[in-house]
Amino acid sequence: MENYIFSMEKVLDYREDIEKLKREEFAKINLEISQLEIEIAKINIELKEINEKIFKIQNANELFQMQLYREALEEKLEIQKLLLSEKRKALEDKRVELTKAQADKKIMEKLKEKDYSQFMYKKNLKEQKELDEFSVMKFKHAKN
């Protein structure tokens, strides 16, 4: 960029770091949500299997044990659903934070673009002035 230095480069770097961090946090929560959804699906499958087995059980003690196990699974399912709900809320919060970080970075990038355009305009103006002076000097020298 021909000796161009953006005076707020450190601010831009900082905002890029913040955006990267927010993106990673967002991805982490998204992964946690996927894992919870898988866990919930597994519990639902297991509950379905238990409900089918209960009708075939003849032994009262075995039936009692299966009933306790089903209740424990149902409780676990409710806990996982609550966790999932909390994670989805956290994901939405992280989405807002990520969007803000992206907007903040974009502002700095636009500022840098404008600053660079101004730098190039001034540089071109200076070069044109030097060429004009050179032409004038050449013209005067040729006249003499």
Residue type, 107: I
For residues 114-134, give the mean pLDDT: 92
What are the structural domain ranges in the chain? 9-108
Both tokens assigned to 12: 């831009």
Q: What residue ranges in the chain does DSSP mark as E strands?
A: none
Query: Helix, strand, coil shares of the chain as percentages rounded to 5?
Result: 90, 0, 10
Q: What span, in angstroms and rounded, lies between the C-alpha atoms of 15 and 57?
A: 63
pLDDT per position as a tens digit, 59-76: 899 999 999 999 999 999
Distance linking the first and last C-alpha atoms of the chain: 40
Torsion-angle region of residue 6: left (phi > 0), alpha (psi -120 to 50) or beta?
beta
Confidence of residue 44 (pLDDT cuts 50, 70, 90): very high
Selected residue with higher pLDDT from 143 and 6? 6
Residue type, 22: K
Percent of the chain residues past pLDDT 90, beyond the cut? 81
Architecture of domain 9-108 in CATH?
A: Orthogonal Bundle (1.10)
Judge whether residue 1 has pLDDT over 90: no
Report the sign of the C-alpha dihedral through residues 94, 99, 100, 101, in that order: positive
pTM over 0.75: yes
Judge whether residue 56 has pLDDT over 80: yes
